[in-house]
Chains A and B, each alone.
Chain A
Amino acid sequence: MSTFSGLGTALSSLIAQRQALEVSGQNIANANTVGYTRQRAAMASLPAATVPSMFSTSNGVGIGTAVTGIDRLGDAFLDARVRNETSGASRLAAVATEYKTLETTIGEPTATGFSKDLSSFWSSWSDVVNDPTSDSARSVLLQRGKAVADRLSTMHQDVGTQWQQALTTTSALVTQVNTTAANVADLNTRILAITNAGGSANELMDQRDLLVTQLSGLVGASARTRDDGTVDVMVAGNALVSGSSANQLAVSSDSPASLGDAMQAGAPAVSIVWARNDNPAGIEGGRVAGLLTTLAPQSEGGVLTSAAAQIDAVAKTLADSVNAVHTTGYTIDGYETGTPGGAFFTYDPANPARSLAVAITDPAGVAVAGAGKGAHDSSVGRELAALAKSTSGADATWAAFVVDLGVQSASASSRATVAEAARSTASAAQLAQTSVDTDEETVNMLAFQRAYEGAARVLTAVDEMLDTLINRTGVVGR
């Protein structure tokens, strides 16, 4: 037991308290840093010196304290839960967003929706019926027919544009995934180097975990921590990041490039593959999975392809039902010669909505007279006007589509809301564990400060004690 050992004990405390204060300072500095995990200086008391030799003495008192490490107060299970929920929530949110956009394109039920165009079209048939000799009524009919055809074509194109955008977004996200994965691998390398050298890589781990959570939101990645502190990032069971190396994902080159291609019979789905061997990645979570769902072919329930097919069906139903009746009618001139009217609409069966057009250019070409019923008869026109009420007609097909879309959109929204609530709860639980509480840090600061002051006082006390021994001893009577 050295005379000066008290000084050493006080010094160890001064150093330890200052270090702990610095950690608190770091916590407070990062109170608002996203992804920061609070830290603690772990202190351990140093045991009394062991007896080195037979004649040395020890009083059994410890020799102070030391900071043994800086703990990162995260929770791997909470992190895993957040990633899991983020993966599901991002996927559902992506689907719900696509539905919302699609609903805007469809624009029902508003005063200017497609059903209004259709009603106007049928109304103009009635006007022609009321006055078959009026060229103006016939011209209006042709224009309304054109409006209906144009509207269908525009909607189909809008859906095509949305599909294209979804594909572009998917490609961009895959690039982002690759960059992020490379960053994670890079951070893994640096973290390993620092921890091997005995340093603390807490801040780099925070960054890395944040990136892994981002990957969960993108492709539903999950993380597996290795013994050496690095993490492997797994996507659907395969390693996206393995230690210091990252694999690349890519949009499959077999994927269709446009809505038209995706709607061909037997067209493959847009898929994500591993760049090194073209094996499917089988992504099941994250925003990319949501986008893949909307891009899928009709046979797999793709949102956009189904919508486009429905619009095509409306166009086809409209054209077929009108043509079937119109070709039985006669124009005023055709009645005399016994020539029935031609088709009212034309379309390409491979692509009905986009190619739908009014075949008649001359108003006189509208055929509303019935066979043998007089040149100014309009019984065929009446049949055409009555198609508005047909239960298998374009209006009914359209209404069924709108309602179906509404139901699916509402259910997608509510599923996304529920998933978001779960993600939010998981995230709150994680933040409760990792976030910095300034009050707590303030209390810690006070405690460290007081301990530092105490240690300084111990130092002074020992110093005064020694002063008494060295300078005041043996001076009796001087």
Chain B
Amino acid sequence: MTTIGRVTHFTVRNSTLNNVQANLQKMADLQAQMSSGKKINAASDDPSGTADVLRLQGEQRQLAQYGRNASDGEAWLTTINDALTTSLSTLRKARDLTVQGGNGALGINSRIALAQEIEGLRDNLLAQANTTYLGRSVFAGTTAGAAFTDGTTPVGAPDPAYTFSGSGVDGTVTRTVASGTNIRVDSSGAAVFGEGADSVFALLDSIAATLRAGGDPSDQLDAIDGHLDAMTTEVASVGARQNQIDAAQDLISQNSLTATTRLSAVQDIDLAQIILDLGAQEVAYKGALAAGAKVLQPTLLDFLR
């Protein structure tokens, strides 16, 4: 208030009213901050803070999405890992049977039995190769349908047996787990199982055929070992990628914690400080009211008879 020469009841009343109003306004502001828990309720409260809030909120939502991407990727890799583990043991079993079939003392019936068993294992392997997750073949890459056709060559169809649907398509299934970090979550069926005549299925077919013909399939063992190597390599690669996703998930939870902390630092109130401020403001408000009550009441008339 500037110095005013003349003071009247009117000016006293006005200034009292202004002061009380200003105090009440400050109390209302503090009250709003306390009840909303936020320092920034409109962009104009703190424009640069608003920029941070918008950025950090965007970052939080992005991280949440990365988290979901990572979980989905992990499910894919787990599915592939299971399929590969099963395939490995199946193929090892087939190898054992092939070694068994190399025994010259075996009768033809035993060989046919072995051949049948190997064909059973081939079907198992084919089923593993066509493993799906949420309706998609995990070994088929980005192509639609099953990863491998079965052993029969359909009449009039161009595809020979055990065709890999992903051949000629360079798309891979990846999940974005951080800005710019895409992790591949599928496996190429061709790399794991081979395709067409070079596939592990065709190999087992030929072993079974050798056994049925009374031959010795031992010379095929090297080929089986080659496929076993390919599968082991892929298991290692899947394991490495699972680790990568685990690490990414750790990073995501750390980053979202950081983002939450920073967001809170920018936009959340310091409760202790606000309560203190509110207390101080209340004292000022009461003071203004009390001063008003003291100044406004008396007039000269009270003292005149």
Contacts and interface: CB of A to CB of B under 8 A. Distances in A.
9 closest Cβ pairs, A-B complex? A374-B142, A406-B43, A373-B171, A435-B10, A437-B8, A406-B47, A377-B142, A377-B171, A409-B44
10 contacts: A129-B176, A133-B135, A372-B170, A372-B171, A399-B58, A403-B54, A409-B42, A431-B11, A433-B5, A437-B8
B278 interface: no
B176 A385 contact: yes
Contacts of B55: 399
Contact of A407 (B5, B6, B47, B174): B47
Q: Which of A120, A413, A433, A435 has the most CB of B within 10 A?
A: A435
A159 interface: no
B152 interface: no
Interface string B268-279: 000000000000
B4 A438 contact: no
A440 B6 CA distance: 11
Interface string B143-183: 11000000000000000000000100111011110010010
A454 B179 CA distance: 98
A144 to B, nearest CB: 12
B9 interface: yes
Interface stretch (A172-180, A250-258, A291-299, A422-430): A422-430
Interface of A: 31-32, 99-100, 103-104, 106, 108-109, 115-116, 119-120, 122-123, 126-127, 129-131, 133-134, 332, 369-370, 372-379, 382, 385-386, 388-389, 395, 398-399, 402-407, 409-410, 413, 424-425, 428-429, 431-433, 435-440, 442-443, 446
Given A375-B142, A442-B300, A382 B169 contact: no
Given A123-B64, A382-B174, A443-B300, 8 more contacts: A31-B10, A103-B43, A376-B143, A376-B144, A402-B50, A406-B42, A428-B4, A431-B11
Main SS at interface, chain A:
helix
A62 B45 CA distance: 72
Interface stretch (B65-73, B97-105, B235-243): B65-73
B35 interface: no
Interface of B: 1-2, 4-11, 14-15, 18, 40, 42-48, 50-51, 53-55, 57-58, 61-62, 64-65, 68-69, 72, 134-136, 140-144, 166, 169-171, 173-176, 179, 182, 267, 299-301, 304
Contacts of B140: 376
Contacts of A403: 43, 47-48, 50-51, 54
A431 B8 contact: yes
Contacts of A425: 1-2
B18 A424 contact: yes
A386 B173 CA distance: 16
Contacts of B44: 99-100, 103, 405-407, 409-410, 413
B43 A108 contact: yes
B15 A438 contact: no
B64 to A, nearest CB: 8
Contacts of B135: 133
A410 B144 CA distance: 56
A231 B64 CA distance: 70
A257 B173 CA distance: 55
Nearest to B43: A406
Q: Which of A129, A369, A425 has the most CB of B within 10 A?
A: A129
A375 B304 contact: no
Contacts of A443: 300
Given A130-B68, A133-B135, A109 B53 contact: yes
B54 A402 contact: yes
Contact of A374 (B51, B64, B143): B143
Nearest to A399: B54
B54 to A, nearest CB: 5
Contacts of B141: 374
Contacts of A377: 142, 169, 171, 173
A438 B9 contact: yes
Contact of A119 (B5, B57, B170, B171): B57
Contacts of A402: 43, 50-51, 54
A108 B50 contact: yes
Given A126-B68, A443-B300, A115 B54 contact: yes
A369 B142 contact: yes
B4 A442 contact: no
Contacts of A385: 65, 176
Contacts of B65: 122-123, 126, 385
A93 to B, nearest CB: 15
B11 A435 contact: yes
Contacts of A126: 65, 68-69, 176
Contact of A106 (B43, B58, B142, B175): B43
Given A406-B43, A439-B299, A442-B299, A376 B142 contact: yes
A388 B69 contact: no
A437 B18 CA distance: 19
